[in-house]
Structure 1
């Protein structure tokens, strides 16, 4: 499907073990934005901090620019409708809907995405990450929480989004335990970059 997109609205990042990744450029409520689109060869088990356990063929990480912040926070109680509006053009391009994708959102422009691959014999792991840490870096045990949800409305949230893919088929307990390793790796990366509490 990716090859059907016009080159001025899509930038291919590459094909990794049959996983295609690229950035789709689109509009949402008149605002210019972009979304990382990861297309899997087939539907796979997914565990997401946004949508929970399920299956998906597409994984999206969408940039929410400042012009959309009020809209997203005003509609956070009905997040599915809000994201359907923001992702409308992308979902149409791939002839799918929110029920068939796994998605995250961030204030980070997807042109700033980083990715890395590790292999060992027949095993492979692929990670895509976006991080905004200039103003929202928090340290557990040091900083007080700055994000809170009340009745479906969110106040001040920061994100470090990591999408981790593997060539292995993981069952639910393994998917859940992978969050431990992923969190530890994220902490190591922040320490090595000397990212301290903002």
Structure 2
């Protein structure tokens, strides 16, 4: 049975239990789906700009982490399981448990911001700019660079997934800028929790190598700037920071 975990204005957030199959194997999982009463413009780091009725976040079951070799096929299966056509939804996926989702909200004047976050940093925390990459992409396929220089095809899963929703009517530039604000807020949590790079533990991590974001705009007053000097930027950063911290603590049992 679907579980409603949030309802506000024109949106409802549900946690949908279902199964996924690879070959003859079947595993239980959950997908969080945000349903809007009216289509909204979104910017996803996975799919770019879309106008959709839904956004979502799917948990890849632990036994399947190393078995999802065709991510497109896997996502198509999720669309069928949750009964939503792919054109109508912007979807993320992760290894984190949807039961460990964290939700935070900020309000000021006529605006609100909501962050729905799943997070885990045990296996691929990274400090960008100070580490060598392990993967290379060719024709949208991801390969691991082996010690001998050969390539091994792999699939990647998001580790810190953030869905940021606002009722502000964000310009395209404001949506893009919001990704910077969200990323900087996430990084402050990694600093405060002293999360270390998986490969180089003497370095403090700035995130994981597979983090993903969806920014969802609304139908309120138009906003063209979402940086830290603006109130909307402050609201974005605060709710992201709260939700990322809570999600990391819940998923990785940090406290």
TM-score by length of 1: 0.85
**CA offset digits 1:127-180 (Å, max 9, x no partner):** 011111011111112222234323433236452110000011112111111111
The equivalent of 2:61 in structure 1 is 65
* Alpha-carbon shift at residue 65 of structure 1 (Å): 1.1
The equivalent of 2:7 in structure 1 is 15
The equivalent of 1:176 in structure 2 is 176
**CA offset digits 1:84-103 (Å, max 9, x no partner):** 1133111x2xxx30011010
Higher mean alpha-carbon deviation, 146-155 vs 52-61, is at 146-155
Q: Answer with 1 or 2: which has the greater Rg.
A: 2
Separation in 2, partners of 1:67, 1:165: 31
Contact 2:62 2:95 in 1 (8 A): yes
The equivalent of 1:120 in structure 2 is 108
Moved over 6 A (4+): none
Contact 1:63 1:106 in 2 (8 A): yes
Higher relative contact order (CA 8 A, sep 6+): 2
The equivalent of 1:28 in structure 2 is 20
CA RMSD of aligned residues (A): 1.7
Contact 2:70 2:155 in 1 (8 A): no
Match of 1:75 among 70, 87, 107: 70
Structure 1 unpaired stretches of 5+: 1-8
The equivalent of 1:146 in structure 2 is 134
TM-score by length of 2: 0.67
Q: Indicate the structure with greater helix content.
A: 1
Structure 2 unpaired stretches of 5+: 143-153, 199-255
The equivalent of 1:6 in structure 2 is none
